Amino acid sequence: MADSKRNFVYGLHAVNAALERAPERVLELWLVQTRDDARTRDLKDRAERVGVHVHSVSGDALVKLVGDVVHQGAAVAMRPLKAWDEHDLTQALTELTVDPLLLVLDGVTDPHNLGACLRTADAAGAHAVVIPKDRAASVDGVVRKVAAGAAEFVPVATVTNLARTLGVLKERGIWVVGTDGEAEQALYSADLKRPLALVLGAEGTGMRRLTKETCDFLVRIPMAGHVQSLNVSVAAGIALFEALRQRTG
- Tell me the C-alpha distance between 151 and 122, whole Å: 8
Last residue of a domain, one of 78, 103, 127: 78
Q: Phi/psi at 87 (nearest 5 deg)? A: -65, -45
Asked if residue 57 is part of any domain, the answer here is yes
Tell me, yes or no, whether 55 and 141 share the same domain.
Answer: no
Give the pLDDT of the chain (249 residues) as one tens digit per residue.
Answer: 344 456 888 888 889 888 988 899 999 999 998 877 899 999 999 999 999 999 999 999 999 998 888 899 999 998 888 889 999 999 999 999 999 999 999 999 999 999 999 999 999 999 999 999 998 999 887 888 788 778 888 999 999 999 999 999 999 999 999 999 999 999 999 999 999 999 999 877 889 999 999 999 999 999 988 887 899 999 999 999 999 999 997
Q: Where a domain ends, among 53, 78, 103?
A: 78
Alpha-carbon span 66 to 3, nearest angstrom: 7
Q: Are residues 215 and 165 in the same domain?
A: yes
45 and 63 together in one domain? yes
**112 and 64 assigned to the same domain:** no
Domain boundary among 78, 104, 139: 78
Residue 1 in any domain: the answer is: no
Domain carrying residue 33: 7-78
Residues 198 and 118 in one domain: yes
Strand, helix or coil for residue 202:
strand
Give the per-residue pLDDT at 57: 96
Q: How many domains, in total, are found in the chain?
A: 2
The bridge status of strand 175-179 relative to strand 156-159 is unpaired
Q: What is the CATH number of the domain that holds 145?
A: 3.40.1280.10
